[in-house]
Amino acid sequence: MDNIAQLKDNGLKVTGPRLKILDLFETHAGKHLSAEDVYRILLEEGVDIGVATIYRVLTQFEQADILLRHHFESGKAVYELNQGDHHDHLVCVKCGMVAEFHNKEIEDLQDKIAEEHGYRIVDHALYMYGVCGGCQKKEKHR
Amino acid sequence: MDNIAQLKDNGLKVTGPRLKILDLFETHAGKHLSAEDVYRILLEEGVDIGVATIYRVLTQFEQADILLRHHFESGKAVYELNQGDHHDHLVCVKCGMVAEFHNKEIEDLQDKIAEEHGYRIVDHALYMYGVCGGCQKKEKHR
DNA sequence: GTATATGCAAAACTTTTGCATCCTT
DNA sequence: AAGGATGCAAAAGTTTTGCATATAC
């Protein structure tokens, strides 16, 4: 399904800002971008979209399951393209690099725990914070 | 160790605001309070501590490992007393109720995954979002 | 007495909203 | 033509900071 159809299927009109923002996330698949990141990157490309529009579009895309929203420790929301493959995150606290992983055993255990507590799960987020290999090497050189 | 010793051990002077805030979290052990919650609850008790002080104390307590900070989906930080027993969170998206759990199998799997990716883990956060039993019952009555 | 902590107000930062204008269908 | 989308600026919410005063040690 192309971008235009994806917007139409969600009842969203096909507009310049929406296509630009969607395209940006496809170009940066796997990256986690804040609203300000989106604004800045587009501006560098000569595309000036108002921040209000960016926030509105990001919210709409999240509701349409086009994007996933996360809250890492930074205090601001970041978004990434929803590629269907659920995954969790390993975030480097030094350089910010994010590694992704998926582990079915953990997922199954989570479902079991939710059931035991009487919860019907709608979403979950597993974030691990650590120091990545590259930054560990740098530490030794100090 | 009492509260006064706990503050001193972290190089923090023993002041009224710090004792009041620490006491509040002990009274509400297991609860997740935002800076504003702390301000409001203390005010209801007749204790007026400026918000700037609350933010500063919460940050210091987090650095001293007295409190744990979380970022649920709400967009603002919440804190809870660090009782040493690491646990994860099941958050009800309807009523905000938080259930806690601990699962050693999941922890072990996380350690294994971090190792495979070359990360030295410093922290992790597993949040599950769902609808709790109470809210599921309410849904049926509509 | 000295260093640190607090309170207040202002500021910084992220996100939301009102409203006039513009664009998609 | 009509409803929805955008841009701008103002506002709202959260958190930080500068500075004078107050407090702990």
The sign of the dihedral angle between the CA atoms of A61, A62, A67, A70 is positive
For the segment B97-119, the average pLDDT, to the nearest whole number, is 86
For the entire predicted model, the pTM comes to: 0.80
Better pLDDT: B1 or B74: B74
- Looking at residue B55, its pLDDT comes to 97
Buried b / exposed e across B10-45, counting CB within 10 Å, b at 16+? eebeeeeebebbbebbeeeeeebbbbebbbeebeee
| Residues A87-109 pLDDT 10s | 888 877 667 677 888 888 888 88
- HSE-up (13 A, CA, CB side) for residue B39: 11
The B residues from 64 to 123 touching A (CB cutoff 8 Å) are 69, 71-73, 75, 77, 90, 92-93, 99, 101, 103, 105-106, 109-110, 113-114, 117-123
For the segment B19-38, the average pLDDT, to the nearest whole number, is 93
Closest alpha carbon within chain A to B124: A128
Residue B21 has pLDDT above 80, yes or no: yes
Better pLDDT: B48 or A107: B48
| Residues A61-84 pLDDT 10s | 999 999 989 887 778 999 999 887
Instruction: Closest CB to A103: pick one of B92, B109, B123.
Output: B109
Strand D, nucleotides covered by protein (CB < 7 Å): 4-10, 13-18, 23-25
